[in-house]
Structure 1
C-alpha cells in the first residue's frame, strides 16, 4: 500500500515543470490574436463619419415609406403633426382639432402624388413641378 503513493508522486513532480512551458506558449499565443483584431478596430472609426449621413437617409426613407402607406388626405399633415399635438391634446382636446383643419384643406386640394412630388422637389432643392 505504501508503494502506490510513491509511484504517482514522481510523475506529479515532473508535471509542474511541464506546466510553465505550456503557460509560456499560451502567453506567446495571445499576442498574435490581438494583432489581427487591431486592424478591424480602425475601420469602424472612419465608418462613424458616414453613419450620420446613413442615418439621415434611413430616416428619410422610413418617412417616405410611411407617407406612401398613409391615405391621400393624411400624407402631409401626419409627418408634421405627430410631435407637436402630443402635448396639446392633454392640455385641451377641443383646441387641437381646429389647427389641423387648415392643413387638411390644402391636402384635399392636391392629390397625394402631387404632395409627394412637391415634397421630394423641396427636399432635393429643385423648383416644384408645375401641374
Structure 2
C-alpha cells in the first residue's frame, strides 16, 4: 500500500472536521467534528511513525526515549505513544465538553451554538 493514502485520508478527515466545526450549530455535533479532527491527527501520527522510521537508521535515540534498555531503536513506536496522548486528550475533552453542554441544556433548554452568550454573567451598568 502506498504511504500517501493514509495521509490523504487523514487530510480529508481533518478537513471534514473543520467544516463540521465551522458549519454546525448543534454543540454536540461540533464536539463530534472535533473528535473527527483528533482522529485524523492520530492517523497521521501513526502513518508518519511507520513511514519515516526506516529513514532514521543512523539517528541515535536518546536513552530516555527508549521504553526498555534491551529494545532496539527500530521497535520504539513514538507515533503510537503520541497517538495515545491524543486519545487521552480526546477523552478528557469529551468528558468536560459534554458536562458543559448538559449543564447549558438544563439551564437554557437548547444547545445551539449561535445562541450561546459568552458574557451572560456580566452585569451592564448604564451611566
The alignment's TM-score, normalised by the length of structure 1, stands at: 0.29
The alignment's TM-score, normalised by the length of structure 2, stands at: 0.30
Q: Higher relative CO (CA 8 A, sep ≥ 6), structure 1 or 2?
A: 2
Structure whose CA Rg is larger: 1
